[in-house]
Every structure is written in C-alpha cells, then in structure tokens.
Chain A
Amino acid sequence: MDLAFTPELKAFRAEAREWLDANVPAEPLPSLDTKEGFALHREWERKLNDGRWAMVPWPVEYGGRGANLIEWLVFEEEYYRAGAPNRVNQNGIFLLGPTLMEYGSDEQKARFLPKIASSEEVWAQGWSEPNAGSDMAAIRSTARREGDHFIINGQKTWASRGAFADWLFCIFRTDPESQRHRGLTFILVPLDAPGVTVRPIPQLDGETGFAEVFFEDAKVHTENQLGEEGGGWKVAMATAGFERGLMLRSPARFQATAARLVELYRKIGGDADPALRDAVARAWVNAEAYCLNTYQTASRLIAGGSIGSEASLNKIFWSEMDVQMHETALSLLGARAELLAHAPEAGDVGNWLDGYLFSLAGPIYAGTNEIQRNVIAERLLGLPR
C-alpha cells in the first residue's frame, strides 16, 4: 500500500490542470438536453479531443493517451475541479468504448472509436423496452438477418441522449424461438437509418433528456453486430458492468458536490437545524469513501484483478449518496430551494434543484437499486434465488 501520488502523477495532474484552466468555458454551457446545449457540448468534446483529453485511458491510436485507471481518476479530479461541462457522449466514451475494445473487431474499433472520442458521433443507449425494464431479458424487439442486413422491428425506450444522438447501441432478439437471455444480439444502429423514428420524451425538468425509438423494418448492415450472434446478453452485461462499476460516475464528481455543500453550509448553515451539520459531514465522508473505494478498485484492476458483481455495491452507493447530498442542500436553502435558476430572486441558489432532480434518476437508471440489491444478495452473499 502506497497512497502517495508519484511525481509522474503530479506532473500529469499539472498538465491536465493547465490545459483545463486555459480551455474550459468561463460560463456554464446551456443544458445538454436542449438542441442548442447539445451542439455546444459536442463542440466542447471536439476541443477536448483536439487536446487529447477526451478519453485519456484509451490507446493512443484511438485518440487517447494510454493512461492507466489511476491517471484517469486524476484527470477526472482536475475535470471536476475546473467545473468543465458534462460529457454529452458519456454513453459512447465510458460505456460503448470499453465494450468495443473488449468485443469489437479491429475494423469496428477503427471505424467507431475515433469518432466516439471526438464526439463526431454521439451515442445513446437502447436497452429498455415498454415491457422490458428491470426485467431486461424480456425484450421483444427483433432483428432478422436478410443477406448482409438486419431487418429490425420493435421499440426501445428511455434512451438517454436519444433525442439528439447519432447512434444507438441496443440488443435485439435475433432468434425468434429463443427465451430470456438467449438469442439476443448486440447491434449498433445509426439513428438516421430508414425505418427508425425517434420521439423525444420530456423529462421531469421539461427537457428532452431521453427518447423512445421505433423500428419499422429498419435496415442495418450486419457489420454493425458487436460480439457473436446470440451472444448479446454477455456483451450488454459487460457494458452494464462499466456503467455500474468504475467509469460512469467517477468520484471527483461527488467530491466536488460535497465541497460545494460544505461551502453552502459555511455561508448559510449557521442558523440551520443542527442535524444538517451532521448531514453535510456525512455527505463529505461518503464522497471520500466512494473515492477511496474507487482507488482501491483501480489498483486491483491494474494489478490484474477484475470487477464483477461488486459493481452493484458501487451503483447503490453513489446514487444514494448523490440524492442525500442534494436533499441536504435543498434543506439548507429552505423556502428558496424551489426557485428555478432563472427566477429573478434566485440569486445564489445555484443549480441544486436541477441536481436534485437529476440525482433522483440515479437509483433508477443503470439497473434499479432494487435489482442491484438482488445481485448483491444472490451473487455476493450467496442467498438463494
């Protein structure tokens, strides 16, 4: 055990800090769930990629820096310190990218990864269907092979970023006789393909953060199949593992929120309910615990270990911590907590309300926390199914 940052890591941190300080937009960008905001976020991603900061752990040939996971964590710390924009292509860079590296052919890697890194192609995720939510193996949308194409029919829903994205990664039932987890295939679908219709769905905050996608004899080339035909579940689980595990929610995001919460308390917490002081300290400690846990996992992975069902522990922890942090902030703000950021009297209430609404999605997306608790109980603790 050696918890010191080496001179190399310090130099890497300094380089990232310098670039971010010089390039991060001075004013926050408009929400990426609006058309204008989406375009500006894509523009930011291009700039990030030009500096080779879009995906630091990726190999150099795909636009990365070949950084290890610890270096990636350091970069993330600097990214959140700089208050840089949210990652509009997070589905591509954190989820599909690692999946492509594990399951993609060389041609697929060369075709897709650089455009993910540059966000020339922004990705949405197509798992859920109207009748396949937590029970994801119940999916019914089909892909039928006809020559060198798949003919796709059915519907996907809750596709995050779907309203403005270019591509969707999905699993479809390719074997009509199959049941449950078998007979599914992972397919990459361009959203401008004939027979594909995207219908944006306004979310709780009124913005179109996700979409439903309809397929009516949509035609997609078979070269867009990722992994084996019928082996889609395994590929999808790898993607879900990245989502729940290490990549989607890096710890610095929560450490930054905890630091802002401490600042808020110092400013307005003096007369607040003393229980809120405790809640602020709790939030800060939770962010530390999550960070240290991630460094542990990263160290283990670097040493050749792997991440399995423990990813479910992570997903529960970060999502519930995020809700607790924002609830605490809203309690501190008191009656002003309900003001939207553009209200004339909003003043310094900031974006805590937006953050709260977003945090409430955390225990639902990437597999509900109830499903994660089942995974922990059955696979880690060994309780009977």
Chain B
Amino acid sequence: MDFTFSEDHEMFRESVRGLLDRECTADAVRALWDTDSGRSNELWSKLTELGLFGLMAPESDGGLAMNEVDLVLPLIETGYAAVPGPVVECAAVAVPLLRDLGDTKLSGKWLPAIAAGEAVATVGHDANQFVADAHIADLLLLPHEGTLHAVDGAAVKATHQPTNDPSRRLYTIDWSPSETTCIARGDGAHSLLSDALDRGAWGCAAQLLGVAQRMVDIAVLYATQREQFGKPIGSFQAIKHLLANVQVKIEFAKPLLYRAANSLAEGADTRSADVSQAKAVAGEAASLGAKTSLQVHGAIGYTWECDLQIWMKRAWSLELAWGSTAWHRARVAEAVIDGKLPARSFGFEPR
C-alpha cells in the first residue's frame, strides 16, 4: 500500500510543465486560435519527444509500455497549460485502444507513427455527439452501430461545428463504414468502446484539474496585484474564502482521479464507477473555478483580452466531453445505489 507517485513520475511532470511553460504560453494559444488549423505541429512534436503520445504503446511499437498512473500527472499539466488539440483522444484513448485491439497489422502501422509524432489520432464515441479535432487527424477510430472502425483522415469529410472553446474543435464526420474499415464487432467492440469512454472521461478529468488549478493561480496573482480601498483585493476575506473553496474542491478531486488511473491501469472491475467519480468531481471543481476566478477578476475577467477566458472555455468544453458531469454523477448513483455496475469503498467494508 503506497499512495504516492515516484520520483520518476514527478520528474516527468516537471519536464512537461517546463516545456509547456516555455512553448504553450497564453499568447501562443491565442496565436494558434487565429491560424487555419488552430493546432501547432511543433508543440505536438515536442510533447512527442517527451514520450507523451507513445507512453501507453508497447515498446515493440516504439512506445514506453506505461499506463494511466504514468500518464496522469503529465495530462494534468496539459490542462494547466490549456494545450490545444486532441491530447486526451490521442494519448489516453486511441493509443491504448490500438494496443488492446489485438490486430498487430493495424497497431503496427499506427502506433509507431503516433509514438513518433508522425500521426495524430482522434476517437469518436456515442457519448460524444461530435468528434474532437477531426480536422488534423490522420486516423479516426469511429463507432458504427455497435462495431468499431479505423478510418484514414483522407477518407472522411469533417464539418466544423463552431463551439465556445477554440482549443477543442468539434466536427461531424461523413464517412462510409465498410468491411475493410471494421476493426472490431460484437463483445470485442463493446468492450473497447466501454474502455474508450472510461479513458476519455478520465483524461478529461485530469485536464480539468489542471485547468481548475490554473484558474485559481491566475486569480491569486490578479488579487495580489489589483488594489481597491487602498489594499490588494486578495487581502479581503470575501475573496480569500471564494478561492479557498475552489482549492478544497481541487484537492479532494485529485485522489479520486489518481485512484481511477490505478483502476484503469489494473483493469479493475470498478474502473467505470471510479472514473465517473473522478470526472464528476473534476468537472465541478473546474466549473466552480471558472465562476470564482471570473468573479475575483470582476469586469476585466469578462473581456476577450483577459487570458482567463482560455481556461474558462476549456473548463466548460471538457466538462461536457466524454459524458457530462451530470451523466457521470448519474452513473455513480446507478453503481452505488442500484448496483448496476461494480463500485466499492476503499478499505472500508460495510457489514
């Protein structure tokens, strides 16, 4: 029993944080928003060099053969920096899906390319009405009436559905499912899609906690500098208590997120319920963080100019992705109250 991260985990987090501090500033994100694709190949390559996208791929496919416990801290950092693009879909969903598929021809083609930063994958799912960042995807993994398909980016027509968050573009996809695109059906497809939903929700939960922490940090900085009544507004208890409330939410969402990572890595039977707990509380933490940080900023926070919007919009879009907060909370209730899916207390066993 040891609920701590290793030094290697912390070092990996530090290196991702360091890179993103330099390369993924608020100005850089805004500049990307104004480009055609809205995405940076350069940033993607640098994250690839750190091992982010190949992390869960087998070593024989150029990956690191690691798991969700190894990925969770870097994913939080990608939320903290509001990295634009399908980080969760590619690193946390597509890669393990290809790994688990048992189709070495397909995984042998795509995993080395993803791990080398030469290909980007995204994933569709019935939990999401749209597909995230399909416009830059070389590979799309898409469900169709209970079957699962792998489709080349060149073989689909993606129609942009403009949304509130320019860092996560959503698309409807016109494509033709066929025998050649089908990679799994029946129970196999069901199980892969179920894991995809859990991993997508878990990845978003990780990013949401990074987003929430960033909004607290931005608000703390502002409240320390902004003066009214002759003092920094952060010296007033009305401001302090608002921000403390968000920090409490974040701190008690983290262990649920880490436990969910561990359950996914071990393939525990409780993983869906564990993920839903994490996604629900992370969504709430980020939602409260957005409202609170905006309120602490006052009118300046309501402007396009204020960088806070980058993270508020991430909070709102990720909260809806891979099952909304309400959806996951309902799933927790089904598990805990109705026993429809396995859920257990940690340590404590009720009589």
> Which residues in A have some Cβ–Cβ distance to B below 8 Å?
1-6, 9, 70, 73-74, 77, 80-81, 251-252, 255-256, 258-259, 262, 265-266, 269, 277-278, 280-282, 284-293, 295-296, 298-300, 302-303, 310, 313, 316-317, 370, 372-374, 376-378, 380-385
Contact = CB atoms under 8 A, between A and B. Distances in A.
A255 B345 CA distance: 7
Given A295-B1, A295-B346, A313 B259 contact: no
B3 A266 contact: no
A251 B345 CA distance: 11
A76 to B, nearest CB: 9
A376 B248 contact: yes
Assign chain B's interface to a size class. 35 or more
B3 A296 contact: yes
Contacts of B1: 2-6, 9, 70, 295, 299
Interface stretch (B44-52, B199-207, B330-338): B330-338
Interface in B249-277: 251-256, 258-259, 262, 277
Contacts of A277: 333, 337
A2 B348 CA distance: 17
A281 B240 contact: no
B223 interface: yes
A1 B2 contact: yes
Given A259-B350, A278-B333, A292-B255, A3 B262 contact: yes
B247 interface: yes
Given A313-B248, A377-B241, A383 B234 contact: yes
Interface string B307-351: 000000000000000000000011011001100000001111111
A251 B255 CA distance: 13
A72 to B, nearest CB: 11
A377 B3 contact: no
Contacts of B262: 1, 3
B146 interface: no
21 contacts: A3-B346, A5-B1, A81-B350, A251-B347, A255-B350, A256-B348, A284-B332, A289-B255, A292-B256, A295-B255, A372-B244, A374-B237, A374-B240, A374-B241, A377-B240, A381-B247, A382-B224, A383-B232, A383-B239, A384-B232, A385-B235
Contacts of B231: 384
Contacts, number: 175
A284 B255 contact: no
Contacts of B330: 278
Contact of A380 (B69, B247, B333): B247
A262 B336 CA distance: 8
A288 B330 CA distance: 17
Given A81-B351, A289-B277, 18 more contacts: A3-B262, A77-B348, A259-B348, A282-B329, A284-B332, A288-B346, A291-B345, A292-B3, A293-B251, A293-B254, A295-B255, A295-B346, A296-B255, A374-B241, A377-B234, A381-B220, A384-B234, A384-B235
A247 B347 CA distance: 17
B229 to A, nearest CB: 13
B237 A370 contact: yes
A289 B281 contact: yes
Contact of A303 (B4, B251, B277): B4
Interface of B: 1-6, 69, 216, 220, 223-224, 231-232, 234-235, 237, 239-241, 243-245, 247-248, 251-256, 258-259, 262, 277, 280-281, 329-330, 332-333, 336-337, 345-351
B277 A288 contact: yes
A300 B254 CA distance: 15
- Chain A, interface SS category: helix
A263 to B, nearest CB: 8
Nearest to B255: A292
Contact of B247 (A70, A259, A285, A376): A376
Nearest to A296: B3
Contact of B347 (A74, A269, A299): A74
Contact of B251 (A280, A286, A313, A385): A313
Q: Which of B3, B69, B216, B235 has the most CB of A within 10 A?
A: B3
A373 B337 contact: no
Given A1-B262, A281-B333, A282-B329, A288 B345 contact: yes
Q: What are the 3 tightest A-B residue pairs by CB atom distance, in nearest-first order? A: A377-B240, A292-B255, A259-B350
B270 to A, nearest CB: 11
Contacts of A280: 333, 336-337
A296 B346 CA distance: 12
A378 B241 CA distance: 10
A299 B3 contact: yes
A383 B348 contact: no
A291 B235 contact: no
B271 to A, nearest CB: 12
A132 to B, nearest CB: 19
Contacts of A293: 251-252, 254-255
B308 to A, nearest CB: 16
A291 B241 contact: no
Instruction: Indicate the member of B1, B69, B277 with the most A CB atoms within 10 Å.
Output: B1
A2 B350 CA distance: 23
Contacts of A290: 252
Contacts of B351: 81
